[in-house]
Amino acid sequence: MLEVYKPTKADIEKLKPTPDKLKISGDGVFASLQGEGITAGYPSVFLRLHFCNLACGVPNGWKCDTRYAWDGARPEYWQEPEDWSYGETSLRIENAWASRFGENQEKRLVVTGGEPLIQQKKIARLLEKLPDWKVEIETNGTIMPIPELGRCQFNCSPKLENSGNSFRRRYKPEVLKVINRLPKSQFKFVAIGVSDLEEIDSIANGCDLCSGKILIMPEGQTAEEVEIHADRIREAVEARGWKITLRNQLIWYGPKRRT
């Protein structure tokens, strides 16, 4: 069992939000390929923001792969985050793209977390400095997006019972309905078995989600586990007219930083 970290006064002070600066997780900015969803395989720069309003895998459920962005029991949560100005952040994003992909492709930024919409007003300020970028925002569907982010593609991943979060905490139908109406949005549900699909049926019907926007992502901490769960649900997903998206980053790079 992981020993619970006790933050120091300096840790607590460091974690306080800073005006006009983004709270960045230890991953910061990195260039890679988008691994999930409708833009899987696209060259992208990722910006990982700190904090989340959910706790997937606590006390049980599938294991979140970015617990260092929200789990106060871990020293990384307190010690790794940094405060970056909008100018510094945009420069790091531009440099990460140029160093890996050059200038002859459409530039794409994926803002992830944690839960990025906790800092969405600051994201909007950042994007003013990146007017020619395609932007995707990962969200768990519990925070209403602001109109200033209307240019973005929303990759919404509503959490199910298998996440370990309470129903009241993880299910916000008014938010899902708004995201569904956005011109650029998709819904990625993490599923382990057919019973998860029945829960997704209920959410999709209750929020009138567009069937063409629903993707099912088999859960797994390794490529092998993802494939096992994909085989378990594939026929039931196809029968509903939905699509399966794999976690390609596990295939390409293997499990990294799953602590």
- The reply to whether 136 falls in a domain is yes
Contacts of 45 (CB under 8 A, 6+ apart): 29, 30, 31, 93, 96, 97, 107, 108, 109, 110
How does pLDDT run across 110-132, given as a tens digit for each residue?
999 999 999 999 999 999 999 99
**Residue 251: what pLDDT?**
79
Domain count for the chain, please give it: 1
Confidence of residue 258 (pLDDT cuts 50, 70, 90): very low
- The reply to whether 215 falls in a domain is no
Poorest-confidence range of 84-93, 164-173, 218-227? 218-227
Average pLDDT in the chain? 94
Residue that wins the pLDDT comparison between 118 and 222 = 118
Dihedral Cα 116, 135, 156, 99, nearest 10 deg: -70
- The reply to whether 111 falls in a domain is yes
Single-letter amino acid, residue 205 = N
How does pLDDT run across 35-74, given as a tens digit for each residue?
999 999 999 999 999 999 999 976 666 678 899 999 999 9
- The reply to whether 248 falls in a domain is no
- The reply to whether 118 falls in a domain is yes
99: helix, strand or coil: helix
- The reply to whether 18 falls in a domain is yes
- The reply to whether 246 falls in a domain is no
- The reply to whether 125 falls in a domain is yes
Range of the domain at 19: 9-188
Residue 93: C-alpha distances to residues 44, 51, 119, 130, 169 (Å)? 10, 20, 17, 9, 33
How does pLDDT run across 130-176, given as a tens digit for each residue?
999 999 999 999 999 999 999 999 999 999 999 999 999 999 999 99
Residue 198: C-alpha distances to residues 16, 162, 201, 216, 243 (Å)? 40, 12, 5, 12, 15
CA–CA distance, 21 with 11 (Å, rounded to integer) = 18
Q: Answer yes or no: is pLDDT of 10 > 80.
A: yes
Confidence of residue 190 (pLDDT cuts 50, 70, 90): very high
Which domain CATH number covers 132?
3.20.20.70
Q: Quick check: pTM over 0.85?
A: yes
